[in-house]
Amino acid sequence: MMMVGILVGMFVGLVPGLGGLVGFALLIPFSLSMEPLVGLAFLLAMSAVTTQTDTIPAVILGVPGTAAAMATSLDGYPLAKKGQAGRALCASYYASIFGTLVATALFLLFLPILRAVIFAFGQPEFFMLVMLGLILAGSLAGNSLSRGLIMAGFGLLLSTVTLETSTGEPRFAGDIIYLWEGVPLLPVILGIFAIPEVIDLARRQSSISKTSYDTRVSGLWWGLRDCLENWWLIIKASTLGTIAGFIPGLGGQVAEWMAYGTAVASDENPKSFGKGNIRGVIAPEAGTAAQKPGALIPTITFGIPGNGGMAILLGVFMILGLRPGPEMVTTKLDATMMMVWVIVVANIIAAILALFLQKWLILLCYLRSTIMVPLVLGTMLVGATMANQSFGDVVLFFLFGVFGYVFKHADWPRVPLIMGLIMGKLAEQYLFLSTNLHGFKWLTDRPIVWVIGAVTIAVVVVPAIKRYRKANLADDGQPANQSVSGEDD
């Protein structure tokens, strides 16, 4: 099943306009009928390798397969034009593998610290942490703090739609029996992420790439040598990628640009970047690859997903009966380690496959949108219905698809909404247990709660003050800069 996941991941990474979230959308329905760990391996393998193959169109055609390959194309494409496509691609595959390995090593290194932190936490700390994660994601995803936080709040509110067991009264569900078990995750995720992508794919109304390409791909050893010579850059880029993955809301795009920035800043000849500097390929690839294991850490330990893909994965966790928290680093440590190693092994297998098949894989970039759109849409509609096997799924899929399209183009981030929907149930449970066990004293008696609370307030207040200052500068006639944001997996 892992191999199927790898192949699907390679496909969605390769075809510009798809990407990891669409990959999740396509595979989740199938994973639900599998053994929990097999299902997770299937999804993780898919998610891990999208950043391997998205480099192929980025280097050969100058068209990034996903948003996370934009920086790679800056130097990869000029290298391809110099006839060094093979060198750039091979360097990117090796950088991805090394990036994943560095992130795994960091994970193992910090595991004892993580354990200690988790055991110091009770229900109130977990509640505050969930809220911090959500607010962090809401404030970092997209260009507007308030829009992100409104979406996170709306997600939380959606998670409270249910039939209350204590009173037997439906809460926000009215007479719609379909909603009595809560808003189902699958049709919402599929609708909100996949339909907008499909509409945009159809809107382009042309083959995904019209560029011709050079089929001469060679330089396996040259790429490896480049990586070995730049080992320190790989470690720096991977560490930054792991940190970017760990912080909810940042995502692969930020990891990639942070890594690219490091490469430029540490180079003797910064002007060579953008003209075909191999370090401009190695750093972003190592950074994005390391971001995935990095994002897995808060997801499995604290239940705070590091990015959109991990938010979906957390939802699948819960559907499959796994619960993030202390268990994942104690009694279920084997499951955690399995997930980490799946990412590593999937990256190695995908790199080997890509090395041998890239000449043929590139042909997939020429699939017309008129073929892709109905097939992807049909598969997603089937997938959306598989959770509850009800027409309610179809309605939700459609409604959230339309909303998702509006949100995407109005620049209202969708990831915080999904994170709110997924984390809302956990948060409500933690809040209920906290107040039940400690009354409202948990707000005043627990120092860790204060610390997390202070960080949460800072996350909201500091950017608001910065924005206010920026607006004042704009009032004085000075142009304001746009912030970097990324809503990707």
Site residues for other proteins, window 205-264 (CB under 8 A)? 205
Q: Looking at 6-14, 239-247, 323-331, 463-471, which segment touches other proteins (CB under 8 A)?
A: 463-471
Give the torsion through C-alpha atoms of 184, 185, 187, 189, to 10 deg.
160
Q: Is 171 in the site for other proteins (CB under 8 A)?
A: yes
Tell me how far apart the alpha carbons of residues 183 and 188 are, in angstroms, rounded to a whole number.
Answer: 8
Among 202, 318, 319, 338, binds other proteins (CB under 8 A): 202
Residues 399-458 that bind other proteins (CB under 8 A): 401-402, 405-406, 408-412, 420, 424, 427-428, 431-432, 435-436
- Least separation, in Å, of the C-beta of 134 and other proteins? 9
CB of 307 to other proteins, least distance (A): 20
Question: Where in 38-57 is the site for other proteins (CB under 8 A)?
Answer: none
Chain centroid to Cα 388, Å, comes to: 26
Q: At its nearest, how many Å lie between other proteins and the CB of residue 458? A: 16
Tokens of 481: 């800069």
Phi, psi of 167 (to 5 degrees): -110, -20
Decide if 197 contacts 18 (C-beta within 8 A).
yes
Least distance to other proteins, CB of residue 148, Å: 9
For residues 139 and 336, which CB has a smaller minimum distance to other proteins in the complex?
139
Comparing CB distances to other proteins, the nearer of 39 and 245 is 39
Residue 461 binds other proteins, judged by CB under 8 A: no
Residues 72/256, Cβ–Cβ less than 8 Å? yes
Find the part of the chain contacting other proteins (CB under 8 A) among 223-231, 282-290, 339-347, 478-486: 478-486
Per the rule left: phi > 0, alpha: psi between -120 and 50, beta: everything else, 139 is: alpha
Distance of closest approach, residue 367 Cβ to other proteins, in angstroms: 11
Q: Judged by CB under 8 A, does residue 394 bind other proteins?
A: yes
Q: Are strands 162-163 and 170-171 parallel, antiparallel or unpaired?
A: antiparallel
Of 25 and 329, which has the nearer Cβ to other proteins?
Answer: 25
Q: Which is nearer to other proteins, 300 or 381 (CB)?
A: 381
User: According to CB under 8 A, which residues from 83 to 112 bind other proteins?
Assistant: none
Instruction: Give 31-35's long-range contacts (Cβ < 8 A, gap of 24+).
Output: 31/316, 31/320, 32/316, 32/319, 32/320, 32/386, 32/387, 34/1
Tokens, residue 89? 């691609």
Q: Which 112-151 residues touch other proteins, going by CB under 8 A? A: 143-144, 146-147, 149-150
Which residues fall within 8 angstroms of residue 392, CB to CB, at 6 or more apart? 176, 178, 179, 184
Q: Name the residue nearer to other proteins (CB basis): 86 or 413.
A: 413
Q: What type of residue is 28?
A: I
Q: Burial letters for 225-244: b for 16+ Cβ neighbours within 10 Å, e otherwise?
A: bbbeebeebbbbbbbbbbbb
Q: Which of 109, 113, 116, 167 binds other proteins (CB under 8 A)?
A: 167
Q: For other proteins, which is the closer residue by CB, 184 or 219?
A: 184
**Could you tell me the smallest distance in angstroms from the CB atom of residue 297 to other proteins?**
26
Residues 358 to 387 in contact with other proteins, rule: CB under 8 A: 368, 370-371, 373-375, 377-379, 381-382, 385-386
How far apart are CB 355 and other proteins at their closest, in Å?
29
Tokens of 430: 């933690």
Residue 71 Cβ vs other proteins, minimum distance, rounded to whole Å: 17
Rounded to 5 degrees, what are φ and ψ at 27? -95, -25
CA-nearest of 109, 486, 151, 66 to 297 is 109
Task: In angstroms, give the least distance from the CB of 78 to other proteins.
Answer: 22
Chosen residue from 62, 117, 154, 272 binding other proteins by CB under 8 A: 154
Among the residue ranges 14-22, 38-46, 165-173, 276-284, the one whose residues contact other proteins (CB under 8 A): 165-173
Using alpha carbons, select from 184, 200, 252 the residue that is nearest to residue 376: 200
Q: Where are the alpha helices (DSSP H) in 141-194?
A: 145-158, 185-189
- 3-class SS string, 315-365: HHHHHCCCCCCHHHHCCCHHHHHHHHHHHHHHHHHHHHHHHHHHHHHHHHH
CB of 199 to other proteins, least distance (A): 5
Gyration radius of the chain over CA positions: 22
Applying CB under 8 A, what is the total number of residues that bind other proteins? 72
Which of 386, 384, 339, 376 is closest to 33 using CA atoms?
Answer: 386
Q: For the segment 11-30, give every residue that binds other proteins (CB under 8 A).
A: 30
Closer CB to other proteins, 175 or 475, in the complex:
475
Quote the least distance from Cβ 461 to other proteins, whole Å: 12
Q: How many CB atoms are located within 10 Å of the residue 167 CB?
A: 8
Per-residue contact string for residues 181-200; x = within reach of other proteins by CB under 8 A: --------------x--xx-
Comparison of 175 and 334: residue with beta carbon closer to other proteins? 175
Query: Is the CB of 150 or the CB of 319 nearer to other proteins?
Result: 150
